[in-house]
Amino acid sequence: MITITIPEREYWDESKEEFVYSRKQTLQLEHSLVSLSKWESKYGKPFLSKEDKTYEETVDYIKCMTITQNVSEEVYANLTSENIAEIKAYIESPMTATLINDSNVRSSSREQPTAELIYYWMIASNIPFECQKWHLNRLLTLIRVCSIKNQPPKKRSRREIMSRNAALNAARRKKYNTKG
């Protein structure tokens, strides 16, 4: 979860011909599978695509992420570029210490991940539905770890085994300062 503060602002409302003052507002946001499914149900397209989002789509996703109750629409109009940059950094953050070596992991499909597909992965991996409220990147990492751990061990070729053994022997010779 991230907490952002939208600063107070003064601006001119041309329709009413008067100055309008907005108060400082604090929002709590969560980038989760729940917020992703809300956004995808509104737009009918995958959120996790490489396609850039419009400003309106970005603000709508921030609305879907909002945990704070009873937030008026005017608050979202007062988001600063710093607020949006902070939210984007939060969305892109891995939120886990687990690192997966992508060179050994091959993607079995080119499917565009959608909320329903991620729910399927959760069910297939026996991940409880409470995890739908986790940070989305953390949940996707857990799904990938479950997928990797459930695969049968990769059989190595004779060349790979000999190369690995030679590297281990060289490391031992260096560690113990011996020649053979």
Distances (CA, A) of 129 to 100, 114, 118, 125, 160: 23, 16, 11, 11, 41
CA distance 127 to 138: 13
Count the neighbouring beta carbons within 10 Å of the beta carbon of residue 32: 21
Q: What is the pLDDT of residue 36?
A: 96
| In contact, 32 and 40? CB cutoff 8 Å | no
| In contact, 47 and 61? CB cutoff 8 Å | yes
Q: What is the pLDDT of residue 9?
A: 82
Q: What is the pLDDT of residue 153?
A: 82
* Number of helical (H) and strand (E) elements in the chain, helices listed first: 7, 4
> Quick one: what percent of the chain has pLDDT higher than 70?
95
Q: What is the pLDDT of residue 167?
A: 94
Residue 109 has pLDDT above 70, yes or no: no
Q: What is the pLDDT of residue 100?
A: 84
Count the neighbouring beta carbons within 10 Å of the beta carbon of residue 37: 18
Q: What is the pLDDT of residue 103?
A: 53
Q: State the chain's mean pLDDT as an integer.
A: 89
Residue 101 has pLDDT above 80, yes or no: no
Q: Residues 46-87: pLDDT tens digits?
A: 999 989 999 999 999 999 999 999 998 888 988 999 999 999
Backbone CA torsion sign across 82, 84, 90, 93: negative
What does pTM read for this prediction? 0.75
Count the neighbouring beta carbons within 10 Å of the beta carbon of residue 112: 13
Q: Residues 123-169: pLDDT tens digits?
A: 999 999 999 999 999 999 999 999 988 888 888 889 988 999 999 99
Q: What is the pLDDT of residue 22?
A: 80
Q: What is the pLDDT of residue 16?
A: 83
